[in-house]
Amino acid sequence: MGKTRMFWFLFFVGFCAAYKPVVFIHGFNGTPEDGNLIKDIIQKMHPGTLYYTANAFNRTDTVKPLWEEVAIVKPQLVKYMEAHPDGIHLICYSQGGLVCRGLLSTIPDHNVDTLIAVSSPMAGIYGDPHHLELYEKFSDFLAPLNNDSISPHITEFKHNFLRIKRMVLIGGPNDGLIRPWQSSLFGFYDENEIVQDMKKQQYFIKDSFGLRTMYEQNRLFMYNIKGIVHKQWVRNPDVIKGVFMKWLN
């Protein structure tokens, strides 16, 4: 191979290797194929980027308790992390965002560079905001992660969560499924059923799991995008190109 051809070959290999691998985790009643358009756009705009899916829980498996889903996905995600010690990006869609919260709160040496949570009910979905005591007593997923139930593991959860270098939250008022849609941005109803944003939530005020720290360190980014219904977040090329791709360095 001539010197010129060798130069361009090495340049291309180095250029492609510059992009961190991307792992896609789908949502409720979903499959890895839900991320096909994301994969296609990534590979066109960032040639050579490695793309993986968590092909571990599909369709009916997504009705399992969330900690069970976390346990199912964890071995695959750890394998991807170990294969790429320089870090990976996570794109987590819908319920997949909650699974990612559980994963990144319980993997002590994870190397996630950017977590992109796409229309994920990070603060939960509307049930009954008038019975917070029951939530604190019986929720075995969000309440411990938020330290609403005084979790003995909260120090570990917070330490692990803060290993995320950047978190990107995406949601919008026309979602139609996530209630309130502001849950995608860590907002939720108060006792009067009025939506309060992230900064007024106790887990933010108390910095229970590191959300406030991440915000104050300028590592938290939020998008409020109008006109997108829930199923279209991962099927809209404008959102993928204009928002997702910005963060996939």
What are the residue numbers of the active site? 94, 175, 230
Is 113 in contact with 20 (CB distance < 8 Å)?
A: yes
Dist. CA 161–CA 108, nearest whole Å: 9
Handedness of CA 72, 73, 76, 77 (dihedral sign): negative
